[in-house]
Structures are given as C-alpha cells and as structure tokens.
C-alpha cells in the first residue's frame, strides 16, 4: 500500500502503523512527517516509533530518496557556484585515529580542487575532526556561510562546523535516535550523512566507509550496503559519488586523541607519516581528484611541501596559529609487552575506548574533551616485540584516569609466536 500523493495531511499514527505493517510511504507523506517533526507538530515519541518501525521494516529506494530530500528541504543549501575550482568533499563514517581529513583537505586543495569540509565532534570512542583542530591555538570551527565560501575560493579548503540551518531535521532526528536504540539502521544512517553532504553543495563526494572492530560498521556486508546506499543517494541527487571501504580493526596511524593527532597529521604532511595513514589518505586523494576531473599526483604534493603549505594557509585562514605549540598532557604511562613475539592484535575499539577514558572523548555531546589526552601506539600488528618493550603510551591530564584506560585495553592486545598476516587497509571501491 502506498498512500496517494494527493491525500489530505495524514495523522502521524497512521504513517507509523503503515510503516510498521510493511507498507510504502509516499513522498508527500514523508515530506509532511519530516517537516511536521522539525516544527514540533509531530512529537518525539511518535518519531521514535517511526524510527523503530524503519529499523525493522527499512525504507525502499523511493522512500529513502524522499526521506533524504525532505530532510534537506527543512534547511538551506550552500551555494558554491562562485567557487572557481571544482568542489569535492570527503566523509568518513568514523574510526579510531582517523585524522585523514586534516591531511586530505589541504593535500587535495594543493592539487587544484576546492575542498569544503563540514565536520563534527567526537562521541564515545570515535574522535571528532573539530575537537582535534580546536587544539590549535586560535583556530575557529564556527564561521559564517559567506566566510566559508570566501575561504573556499581563496585558500581552496575549509573545515568547519555545519551551520544550524543545514538539514536541521537531521540534527533533531539524530539526537532522538541516539537515545532510543534506533541508530543501527542503514537507511537512517545513509539519509543522515547524505542530507548534510548534499545540502553542503559540493559537486563531488568520496565516502570513506570504515569496517572493523573500531568502526560503526563491523561487518563488511553491512558496510558495503551502507556505501552502496549512500553512493546511490548522492548520484541520484546530482553529486558525483564514490566510496572506499577501509579497515578499522587497528587504529589508523599511531596517535589517538586530539592534539596528538594534529601533531601526527603535520608529520604526515612533512612526508614522515605512518604507512597505513599515508596509504588511506593517498587512496582517497586520488579518488577525489579523479571525480573533480583533475590530473595531479597527490604523492608529489605530499613530498614537495605543497600540502603542508596549504595546511598552514587553511589554519591561518580560520584564525589559527600554525606555529603555536600544541597542548600536551602532563601525565603519561607506558603499556609493555608481557612476552616476546609478534604483535598480532591491537584492537581499535579497545584503544579508542582507552583514549576516551583518558579524556580525549566524550560520553555526551555537551561534555568537554582534553586537548592533550590520548594514546600513542608505539608498535602495530606485524611488529616483532621484546618482553617488556613499550607498546602504548597513555597520556592524561589526571593520572587517576589510567586505571580505566588499562581496563579498556584488557584483552585488546595480543602478542604471539607467529607473525600475523596484516590485512590491506584499503579493502574495496564502490561506485
């Protein structure tokens, strides 16, 4: 059963029953529901029931397009038509040690594209790009739409918080899903991400869909379905969209936290980054440049200093001082290997949770984060280690937090007699 497009405005309970019973909702019904919820006409408990019905019944392709379009329609779209370079963005579904955006935006901009990045804050074990950049003295996440377009046109890249008028329905629905056990729905995840990215106004988009223990999607089949769904939504909306599935069983790079990840990003821009971080960054950069129609070698831009110069320009453009020292935590503690052998496992979720408990993350959106807290991975799977060798360095403002971090790491580190097979970090391309 599909409700007709010319029906009178429905009662929310009728739409909830229809979706609960497996019927397809019309675009007009979905448009009314999203708008009415944003305006406060539909109550939180009613939208909670609808979200739960979607968890169990899903959304068909036409319903998902209508749902995404309706969320975009509750706010404004950024107009990037005045930007002289082709615009291309990247979105990551989040992981542990994922500081790719800090490197990727200036890297791709240094190759001739314009990179508009509307980013978020961390929650739980996953870090937020804005939290990381706010450890740079003076740097501002909140800028106006006019300033955003100006910086994109002149500097070539900008990373900022999304304005309140960009898909406001998503902000309200996301908070509701977070407290009602309805986060785990591929249609709701896809529409949440893509409504903001489409409203952002970029011409092209590359999605980095993380897979593994430290990712939102731990199962490759679900990750693939999410990637395919988002690629389809973007393409149908006129945004050239592709996706890479990348591994998140092990923290990306060696630093997990806020200022420590900024420091590692700068080292990577200087050509001294960890191999796995460089591999993911370059793969995404090549994908972004291809979508933008630019023939350039991002490896060369990383090697010759152009990307680092563009990073400094980006930071300064948003009020930051790229030469200022980054905050450091006053207390540290080492985690050592109990036996000799090969480091076989360093679980991303365990390390991410440890960093969170050290103060680098937040349990609630309003919680503060520590700029200097975090974890430094001194060894990675595939490394041979000695008994007593330091594997991790924990950093915190408060030494009382080490106990909780050590509890989080229990069972997350494995040293064995056989060298492990290290899986590739870039798994698959979709699009």
Please answer whether residues 101 and 117 qualify as being in contact, where contact means their C-beta atoms are separated by less than 8 angstroms.
yes
SS3 395: strand
Non-local CB neighbours of 10 within 8 Å, separated by 6+ positions: 3, 29, 32, 33
Candidate list 57, 177, 232, 344, residue with the active-site label = 177
Please answer whether residues 26 and 60 qualify as being in contact, where contact means their C-beta atoms are separated by less than 8 angstroms.
no
Candidate list 110, 160, 191, 192, residue with the active-site label = 192
Nearest to 88 by CA among 220, 241, 195, 216: 241
Catalytic site includes residue 91: yes
Catalytic site includes residue 177: yes
Catalytic site includes residue 197: no
Candidate list 29, 98, 131, 170, residue with the active-site label = 170
SS3 428: strand
Candidate list 3, 19, 57, 91, residue with the active-site label = 91
Candidate list 3, 99, 172, 196, residue with the active-site label = 196
Catalytic site includes residue 196: yes
CA 255 to chain centre: 16
Give the integer Cα–Cα distance in Å for 28 and 25: 8
In this structure, the strands spanning 157-161 and 115-119 are parallel
Q: Fill in the DSSP letter of residue 297.
A: -
Please answer whether residues 342 and 384 qualify as being in contact, where contact means their C-beta atoms are separated by less than 8 angstroms.
yes
Phi, psi (degrees; rounded to nearest 5) at 416 = -140, 175
Catalytic site residues? 91, 170, 177, 192, 196
């Amino acid at each position: 059963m599909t409700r007709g497009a010319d029906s009178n405005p429905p009662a929310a309970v009728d739409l909830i029953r229809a979706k609960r019973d497996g019927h397809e909702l019309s675009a007009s019904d979905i448009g009314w529901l999203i708008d009415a919820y944003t305006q406060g006409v539909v109550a939180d408990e009613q939208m909670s029931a609808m979200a739960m019905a979607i968890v169990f019944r899903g959304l068909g392709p036409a319903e998902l397009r209508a749902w995404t379009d309706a969320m975009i329609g509750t706010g404004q779209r950024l107009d990037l038509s005045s930007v002289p370079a082709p615009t291309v963005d990247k979105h990551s579904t989040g992981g542990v040690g994922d500081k790719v955006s800090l490197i990727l935006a200036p890297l791709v901009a240094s190759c001739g594209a314009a990179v508009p990045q509307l980013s978020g804050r961390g929650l739980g074990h996953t870090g937020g790009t804005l939290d990381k950049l706010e450890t740079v003295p003076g740097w501002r996440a909140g800028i106006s739409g006019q300033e955003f377009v100006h910086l994109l046109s002149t500097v070539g890249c900008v990373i900022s918080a999304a304005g309140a008028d960009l898909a406001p329905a998503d902000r309200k629905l996301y908070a509701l899903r977070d407290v009602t056990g309805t986060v785990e729905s591929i249609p709701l995840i896809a529409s949440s991400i893509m409504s903001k990215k489409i409203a952002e106004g970029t011409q092209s988009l590359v999605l980095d869909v993380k897979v593994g223990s430290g990712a939102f999607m731990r199962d490759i089949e679900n990750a693939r379905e999410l990637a395919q769904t988002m690629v389809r939504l973007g393409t149908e909306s006129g945004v050239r969209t592709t996706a890479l599935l990348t591994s998140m069983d092990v923290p990306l790079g060696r630093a997990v936290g806020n200022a420590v990840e900024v420091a590692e990003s700068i080292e990577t821009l200087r050509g001294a980054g960890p191999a796995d971080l460089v591999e993911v960054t370059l793969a995404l950069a090549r994908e972004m440049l291809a979508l933008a129609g630019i023939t350039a070698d991002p490896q060369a831009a990383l090697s010759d200093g152009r990307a680092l110069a563009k990073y400094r320009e980006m930071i300064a453009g948003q009020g930051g001082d790229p030469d200022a020292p980054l905050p450091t935590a006053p207390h540290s503690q080492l985690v050592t290997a109990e036996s000799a052998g090969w480091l076989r496992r360093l679980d991303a979720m365990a390390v991410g949770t440890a960093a969170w408990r050290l103060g680098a993350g937040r349990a609630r959106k309003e919680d503060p984060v520590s700029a200097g807290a975090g974890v430094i991975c001194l060894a990675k799977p595939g490394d041979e280690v000695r008994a007593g060798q330091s594997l991790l360095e924990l950093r915190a403002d408060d030494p009382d937090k080490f106990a909780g971090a050590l509890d989080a790491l229990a069972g997350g580190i494995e040293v064995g007699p056989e060298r492990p097979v290290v899986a590739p970090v870039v798994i698959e391309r979709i699009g």
